[in-house]
Structure 1
């Protein structure tokens, strides 16, 4: 029944003179039409006014009010059902749209986070990251943070990212609530520019590291950051370190920005850039399973990493401490002109094998990181549980 017909039959309905079919049709219309419900209420008010012709008994008027209240509540309930159904439909549509969007954005964001972490944190990398799709274009990112000490990968924390479309909020969660920065580097140009007294203080610092390695027992493995007397290509670094039973896990790369800091020792957040061995698998397409050699692949990986961060600078600045967009562009220009050269590396292996580097003429500084029990062998099986 339409609005016009309902209003014509309203008096007959209130007096109870409609047919049962007409009553049902009017009630169904009142349940869904708020405008006619309000019209009915105004009609009753006019009937109840002192000037109105008392055509309807008082009792009938009370019953009419009940009818109006019932119609109102049914109308509100029906409206709520409609709104709820619309909300469910919108939520489902938004979830599907969000899933489609983050199938691309989520993968890119995780790559940027992992690349930024492993290029600015010595010997820290992320080997896995996932995207948890939410509704209304929200998503949660999460991945593990690890490092290598000896032959074992050690879990040191995880990262969290919350995304709303292209906006990223980023945080790290470390094991025991913190991550100790023990790996420091000394750039050779910075060392050469110092007075002899300053140079001697760095030599003393390196000697303390060598003494600590002497005191550690034979059955241990360690993590060591070594700084070299000049900048070298990847292949040249392999030649310098080829006679030692150690593994290079992270390379400190010369970017032309190392002399800009007040602090001469460089660590995370202090213009320290590099490349982790693990990152090669995600930043280049070539076969990178050789332990040594293929320096051109490492060069390509570093340049590809810089290009990825420059392309997604809004995400990169959330991950990198003291992020500077201009700095990345300057670094890209610098390595294009000078090549990708290294002035240091994070090494891991048997403690006493690392101690032999004290006699290497190219090593000008060393910093000791973590130490663990002997694990310098290949296990038949292994793994980890995180949940």
Structure 2
């Protein structure tokens, strides 16, 4: 019996020895060099990185359509995009003399939480409309940025602010405002232009007038395009903080195109003008960004008009150059500034 125990003990020791040898042999046969271990670690790291990138891309691909859809919903809900387009267009009608739009050509490009409003403006010279500018207004949600403008005019519009901007941009002047250029120089320009041309001219009156009375100043060969309205600030030409103001006014003629706010269907141009000011007062940040001058003071000017009525201090006119020369003899005209000039297109 003792022998059996001894035999059993020897067997266990042999088995343990066998296991130890096998384990040692396994370690030696499966041992990895430092370089091999580094490669395995790098493969694992790259696999993890690639997996993270793929997961991130998948998430982005899922999120982008959702965010784009949310943007379309933001601008579409309640007609926000159409409202912004309406504010931009009407701002130009009342702050840019002799400028019109083709509403059917206004485009909106909606991006990620943003929208571009793209359109062309037109200026009447003689009896034809010429492209004036290509305008791109960017909105981050409903906050506008400075519009990008490409001018097609021969006389490029001025840029900047302050006294120099005021001097260059103002072409019509209140009876109490100083005219910063010599009248003889502008009449001389008209005299030197060929008879076979048509021109645009900015007229400043010696006194405030009603729009109906203004029609009697000009011969029938001259067309009145835009009326500059006295709003109580034009004598100083700046707001209370000294920032230059832009003239505001409205088209003198009925625009028969259906999309124009001044189409004459239900209201006079004066009534449409006052309605537009009411709209701009509620959206003054957008209006000031779109207009060339950065102070509109809509509320103050609108209140002045309600108390004092609409009186005209200037106008934009166009017609054959020989007819414009005759205006030098009209005593009610205190100043004239020549605008764009084109070859004869008068019918």
For residue 183 of structure 1, report the CA deviation from its aligned partner: 6.5
CA contact (8 A) 1:244 1:353 kept: no
| Number of positions where the alignment pairs a residue of Structure 1 with one of Structure 2 | 300
Is residue 274 from structure 1 mapped to residue 254 from structure 2 by the alignment? no
- Cα deviations by residue, 1:196-235 (Å, 9 ceiling, x for unpaired): xx9xx98xx3344334323322211011111223322333
Is residue 315 from structure 1 mapped to residue 286 from structure 2 by the alignment? yes
* Compared CA separation, residues 112 and 347, structure 1 to 2 (3 A): same
- 1:185 pairs, out of 163, 168, 172, with 172
For residue 348 of structure 1, report the CA deviation from its aligned partner: 0.6
Name the residue aligned to 1:92: 65
Tell me whether 97-106 or 336-345 shows the greater mean CA deviation.
97-106
CA contact (8 A) 1:284 1:300 kept: no
For residue 333 of structure 1, report the CA deviation from its aligned partner: 0.2
The two structures, once aligned, show a CA RMSD in angstroms of: 3.5
* Compared CA separation, residues 357 and 285, structure 1 to 2 (3 A): closer
Is residue 244 from structure 1 mapped to residue 231 from structure 2 by the alignment? no
Distance 1:190 1:344 in 2: 12
CA contact (8 A) 1:224 1:369 kept: yes
Is residue 301 from structure 1 mapped to residue 272 from structure 2 by the alignment? yes
Name the residue aligned to 2:88: 113
* Compared CA separation, residues 252 and 371, structure 1 to 2 (3 A): same
TM-score (norm 1): 0.66
Distance 2:29 2:206 in 1: 105
SS for the counterpart of 1:332 is helix
Kindly name which structure, 1 or 2, has the bigger radius of gyration based on alpha carbons: 2
SS for the counterpart of 1:250 is strand
* Compared CA separation, residues 67 and 119, structure 1 to 2 (3 A): same
Distance 1:189 1:284 in 2: 30
CA contact (8 A) 1:118 1:279 kept: no
Is residue 143 from structure 1 mapped to residue 134 from structure 2 by the alignment? no
Residues 56-71 of structure 1: pairs in structure 2 closer than 5 A: 57=27
Distance 2:169 2:284 in 1: 28
Tell me whether 269-278 or 217-226 shows the greater mean CA deviation.
269-278
- 2:306 pairs, out of 336, 347, 351, with 336
Q: Which has the higher contact order (CA 8 A, sep 6+)?
A: 2
Distance 2:170 2:225 in 1: 13
CA contact (8 A) 2:137 2:290 kept: no
CA contact (8 A) 1:222 1:371 kept: yes
CA contact (8 A) 2:108 2:115 kept: yes
* Compared CA separation, residues 259 and 56, structure 1 to 2 (3 A): farther
- Cα deviations by residue, 1:134-160 (Å, 9 ceiling, x for unpaired): 12x122232223322112222232222
- 2:325 pairs, out of 350, 355, 366, with 355
- Cα deviations by residue, 1:10-45 (Å, 9 ceiling, x for unpaired): xxxxxxxxxxxxxxxxxxxxxxxxxxxxxxxxxxxx
For residue 245 of structure 1, report the CA deviation from its aligned partner: 1.1
* Compared CA separation, residues 319 and 223, structure 1 to 2 (3 A): same
* Compared CA separation, residues 230 and 215, structure 1 to 2 (3 A): same
* Compared CA separation, residues 109 and 59, structure 1 to 2 (3 A): farther
Name the residue aligned to 1:29: none
